[in-house]
Structures are given as C-alpha cells and as structure tokens.
Amino acid sequence: PPVEELLVQPPSQRTSIIRHELRRLVAPATVINRVVYDDLPRSTALPPSQLAAMAAGQSSLPPLRFGSSFESGNLKRAIQVFDNEYDLILSNDINTSSYCQWFYFHVEGMRSDVTYKFNIINMEKPGSTFDEGQRPLLFSERRFTWSGLGWLRTGHSIAYLKNSYKRRITKRKKQSADAGTSYYTLTFSLRFPHDDDRAYIANAYPYTYSDLITHVRKKQAECREKGSGDLMVQTLCNTQSGNPMPLLTITGMTRNGSAVPADEIKKRQVVVVSARVHPGETGASYCAKGLIDYLLDNTEHAQWCRDNMVWKVIPMLNPDGVINGNHRCALSGRDLNREFLRPSPVHAPTVYYLKELIRHVKFGEGRSVMLYGDFHGHSRREDFFVYSCGAQKKLEVHGLVVERVFPRLLSELAPYFTFNGSSFKVQKSKETTGRVVFYRQLGVRMSYTLEGSMMGGHGCDFL
C-alpha cells in the first residue's frame, strides 16, 4: 500500500480553531447544546423518531446518529453544538475514572456535501501526534461495498488543545507522568464520502480480539494444509471474564521430512514476545501479527528462525480491555503493565501466567530465554524505538553491552528505527513493567519494550 502522507496545515489553522472556540464561549445562546447520543446503559442512542423531531427544531440539518455498541467501541456521549458540529465524550476505562485516549465509534445519517466538525473533549494526555500531522481513520460501509476500499486517513483542521474542563485526579493518577488538572480536546473536520452511510471513525487502525482469533485460525489452517507442525496454539489462561488468551509456540519440528529429535529442540534458546497489554495501542497487534506471519513464512530466513529458536508469542495480553474499548486497563481497572512485580492470578491472570511461563522455561526446564519483547504503540512520538534496562560496565561481553546489541542491529536493518531515540534507563514509575521485572527478577538480559508510533515515522506507514 502507498505511504500515508502527514497532514500539513498552515500556522493560521490553529488560530482559526481557537477563535471559533472563543465565539462559542462569548455567544452561548447560539449553541444548540443538545445530547443526541448517550451511552447509559452502554450503546443507547436516541430513537430516529426523536432525532427527526429535533431536526424540525433548532437545527437546519438532521442530527447525526452515533453508536459504539460493537467490539472495541467506546463513545459515551455525543452533543450537537451547531448544525454540523458535535462535542464527543469518550467512555473511561471500565472501573476507572480516566484513561481516555483511544476512540472508536460509528456515525449515520450524514450528507456528503456537508463538512462536519467533531470535538473529542475529554482526552487526557498533554500532547499528541495529531498535532504533528496524524489524521483520524474512517471506514465507510458503502465505499467498501462499492470499491473495496477500507480504512483510510481523513480529516482536516485538526488540532489538539487544552480545554477549560477540569479533571478529577485520584491518588493513583497523581503518580502518573500524564496526570494533570485539565482535559484536552482533539478537534477535526471531515466530509463523508456518501449520503446516509454508516461510517466508523477511529484513533488508529482497529484490531479486535475477534481479528486475533480469526488470524490464529487462519495460520493453523495454513500449517495443516502444508502438513507443517511448526505452529502449536494453546490457551495460556482465561481472562477475568473468561476469554481464552492464546499462546503461539513456533519452532521447526521437522528437517528433510523427518522429525527433529526432542533433545535438539530442548537445546534451542527461547524468545518470548507479547503485545497489546494496553488495549488502545492497536499498532502493537499489527506488529505481533507481522512477526507471526514472518516466522511461519516459507523463506530461508524464517526457516532459520524456526530451526534455531523456540518462539513463544502472546499476541494479546489484555483481551478483556480490547473487547470493551478500554485504552489502558483491564476490567479490574488496573494497568496490567504495572502488575508484573507481584501479579495476582485473580486480578491480573494474563500477566501472572506470562510470568510463570518465563519462570518455568528458565528454572523449570533450565532453558535460556534469549530475549523478551513487548510490543506497544506510542501516541506522542514518531518512529520506532525501544525502552531497555541499563547495564553496568562489568556486564559487558567482548566489549559490548548486551542490552544494546539488539537495538543497534535494528537501527542498521530498519530505516525507521531510531537507536538514538531509544532509552536504556529505568524510571521509578517503570520498575513494575514486564521488561524491568523480567530483567531484574528473572535475568532476561535482552528485555525490551518495543514502541511503534501511532503516527508512523519519517516516510513510513502509519500504525
């Protein structure tokens, strides 16, 4: 697919957006301020008859119809402020009062000759790549039916601004680097490609739990067709709500048509990879998907990876959060990437059993875990980079700091990976993350958080 271009806006664009917001404040009588969608309970929209009655009142345009009653959807409320402008409020992560950044909802009842403006008014992070050229994604059902085109970047007049709404800060959030007293607004305008369509709008390319299960079954079917036993799929554990969390083991089981001896397989080093501990970071799932596809390919390099290593891939560490449209947390309201130090099998079962898996491989089977990598998506930086753990001089091997070898190789092989943008320091707030705990407690020297920008890099595709 073609590389997606960043949106370049004139400096005056931001000034125009701010002036529009000021006019709303000084002339409140001109604002319609009418709720057209309210997720109480989840996914309850006003009936079309009531919306039609509204259209005969203040508005000269029929109000749009909103919804998010689908997997990973998370719109809480839509408020019509002008004929073609809407304020949107996202749902908090379940069992929390915060963590609003991911968005995914659908719109109906639009006109293709009208420019609509959307303001998501309860974003939380103080900065965003939407200020650097990122655009929202749109999927039109009619466009897909007629032309086969799916998700496409769209929108103009995009800005990410601090607004006047104040946040309620809990004790837990006070410890976060993102904790602040204000909300932020993401504002963007767009035209829909068709009248009376159903169009989905999202922060980044969605990747649901159903997408994962479909992909895993597809790879299993492909391996069966080839007569390959290189892929084994297991359920590592069930989530809090009972969803199975897949564990994929990929390694070469045959050579020249004969089974590889079990003793030889046991001598192979193990690489453990996880992704999607944070549900809103959908790019992490595409990275894991790409890794799985690569490892199971018929290329010489993929065969070498299978013949020399055992790959343990957990492509979705937080299925419950993904299903329910959370941005960061599990159903318990906990950030699972802060639970690795002493994970609870009740409140964080996926983290608990991942840690037990690595512990068993290292100390139960006595095998070497060469590398642990945890895929994430980053909403405030460009490019691809890693967070690793610092190493003392005495831990060098042949003059090399082992922890830096893998990122250095990536920077040589991948044009959009930045070694200089990577970090090898451990902040206090990161001491309970997977990469740090596995490094310190379990002795996995090459333990990394693998970050990919939600926007992309200099000339590379978006995630």
The residue written with tokens 């020297």 in the block is: 445
d(CA 161, CA 51): 30
From the candidates 85, 124, 339, 451, which is the catalytic residue?
451
pLDDT for 172: 56
* 446-453 and 369-378 strand pairing: parallel
CA angle in degrees (0–180, nearest 5) for 418-422-425: 170
CA angle in degrees (0–180, nearest 5) for 165-166-167: 125
Q: Which two tokens stand for residue 12?
A: 């005056």
pLDDT for 395: 47
451 catalytic residue (yes or no) = yes
Shortest CA distance to 84 belongs to which of 57, 106, 56, 113? 113
Residues of the chain with pLDDT under 70: 1-3, 40-59, 170-180, 391-400, 456-463
The 8 Å CB, 24+ separation contacts for 14-23 are 14/159, 14/161, 16/157, 17/157, 17/159, 17/161, 17/187, 18/161, 21/161
2-22: per-residue pLDDT in tens? Answer: 567 788 899 899 999 999 999
225-267: per-residue pLDDT in tens? Answer: 999 999 999 999 999 999 999 999 999 999 888 899 999 999 9
Q: Which two tokens stand for residue 439?
A: 């490094």
Q: Which amino acid is at 347?
A: H
pLDDT for 45: 52
pLDDT for 47: 60
Q: Which amino acid is at 399?
A: G
The answer to whether the beta carbons of residues 419 and 411 sit under 8 Å apart is yes
pLDDT for 117: 98
Peptide bond into 279 cis (omega under 30): no
